[in-house]
């Protein structure tokens, strides 16, 4: 285990910082495995608990702040860019808005534990004009809880992590190749998942010209505005005739619609 232990002991803080920063910036890289390994090394006395926790929180904030600033300056338009580089946002923006409306800044305390929510929360917090000091406070606290939980897990299962590092050390250079392949496969899997999701959405989408043609032809239409009430306040623009709908109770709006109707839904 000496090779990998020495590597993590020497560069562990830098590896944790880079991994968490890239993850929070939107890259499809999991940060929990690195934090768990760091936790095991904390138990073995090779890394400082305070240093690992501080580095993880600092990296998390540095990854979140640009998205918060972009959301504050560009509003919901920044989500268009975010949805191009991340995996989950398309399907969780409205849920994130709902959480913000229900819990406010406190939702940032649990954001990093929820896939997708962690990526979308900072720009939505900016778009909703959450004060910067409040954002920093709750985002830092949430990062500390998230990183602390992973570090604690590594400390609790340090023996298993040590055996894994021992196995990787015995593999020598092959271990680096194996880890690289695993990381590559994870990214490819997330990319393929993303492409399939987008393809499924495109099959059910209409563009503005097609919607206009349906309206001109007097086709039976029901247009649903699925944005949250906060999103509608931030951007009051809407399609004429659209009905505001709560996506958690959509049956109240579509229950009596005949099968001949075209149901068009749009969101943030």
Q: Tell me the residue ranges of DSSP E strands in 101-234.
A: 221-225
Q: Which of 51-60, 145-154, 195-204, 237-246 has the lowest mean pLDDT?
A: 195-204
**Paired residues of 223 in beta bridges:** 264
**Higher confidence at residue 11 or residue 112?**
112
Provide the pLDDT for residue 27.
74
What's the pLDDT score for residue 137? 94
| Opening angle at CA 138, ends 158 and 36, nearest 5 | 10
Whether the predicted pLDDT of 247 surpasses 50: yes
Q: How many CA atoms lie within 13 A of 168 on its CB side?
A: 20
Rounded CA-CA distance 9/121 in Å is 33
pLDDT classification of 13: cutoffs 50, 70, 90 = confident
Mean pLDDT throughout 205-212?
A: 85
Q: Give the whole-angstrom CA distance, residue 61 versus residue 111.
A: 13
Is the pLDDT higher at 177 or at 16? Answer: 16
- Higher per-residue confidence, 159 vs 21: 21
pLDDT at position 31 is 83
The pLDDT score that the predictor gives to residue 89 is 44
Are the beta carbons of 262 and 222 closer than 8 angstroms?
A: yes
Q: Is the pLDDT of residue 141 over 80?
A: yes
Stretch 178-196: mean pLDDT: 70
Give the pLDDT confidence score for residue 2 in this predicted structure.
47
What's the N-to-C CA distance of the chain in angstroms? 50
Please compute the mean of the pLDDT values over residues 103-127 and round it to a whole number: 80
Q: Which pLDDT value is given to residue 54? A: 94
Domain extents in the chain? 2-202, 208-266
Which of 38-52, 105-119, 182-196 has maximum average pLDDT?
38-52
Nearest to 110 by CA among 148, 138, 151, 87: 138
C-alpha distance from residue 151 to each of 48, 132, 146 (Å): 11, 28, 9
Q: Would you state the structure tokens that stand for residue 104, as one six-digit string?
A: 């406010």
Give me the percent of the chain exceeding a pLDDT of 70: 71
Predicted local confidence at residue 60, as pLDDT: 92
Q: 31: exposed, middle or buried (C-beta count within 10 Å: 0-12, 13-18, 19+)?
A: buried
Q: Say whether pLDDT at 96 is over 70.
A: no
What's the rounded mean pLDDT across residues 213-241? 82
DSSP letters spanning 67-132: HHHHHHHHGGGHHHHHHHH-SSHHHHHHHHHHHHHHHGGGGGGTGGGSTTHHHHHHHHHHHTT--H
In this structure, the strands spanning 221-225 and 243-244 are parallel
């Amino acid at each position: 285990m000496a090779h990998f232990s020495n590597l993590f002991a020497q560069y562990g803080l830098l590896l944790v910082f880079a991994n968490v920063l890239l993850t929070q910036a939107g890259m499809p890289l999991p940060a929990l495995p690195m934090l768990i390994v760091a936790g095991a090394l904390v138990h073995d006395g090779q890394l400082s608990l305070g240093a690992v926790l501080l580095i993880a929180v600092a990296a998390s904030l540095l990854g979140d702040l640009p998205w918060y600033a972009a959301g504050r300056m560009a509003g919901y338009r920044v989500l268009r860019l975010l949805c191009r580089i991340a995996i989950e946002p398309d399907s969780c923006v409205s849920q994130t808005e709902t959480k913000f409306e229900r819990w406010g800044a406190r939702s940032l305390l649990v954001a990093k534990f929820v896939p997708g929510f962690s990526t979308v929360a900072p720009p939505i917090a900016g778009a909703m004009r959450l004060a910067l000091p409040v954002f920093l406070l709750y985002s830092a606290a949430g990062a500390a809880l998230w990183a602390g939980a992973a570090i604690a897990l590594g400390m609790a299962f340090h023996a298993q992590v040590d055996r894994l590092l021992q196995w990787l050390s015995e593999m020598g250079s092959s271990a680096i190749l194996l880890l690289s392949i695993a990381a590559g496969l994870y990214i490819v899997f997330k990319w393929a998942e993303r492409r399939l999701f987008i393809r499924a959405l495109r099959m059910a989408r209409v563009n503005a010209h097609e919607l206009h043609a349906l309206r001109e032809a007097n086709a039976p239409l029901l247009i649903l505005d699925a944005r949250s009430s906060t999103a509608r306040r931030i951007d009051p623009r809407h399609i004429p005739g659209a009905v505001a709908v709560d996506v958690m109770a959509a049956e109240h709006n579509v229950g009596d619609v005949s099968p001949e109707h075209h149901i068009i839904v749009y969101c943030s």
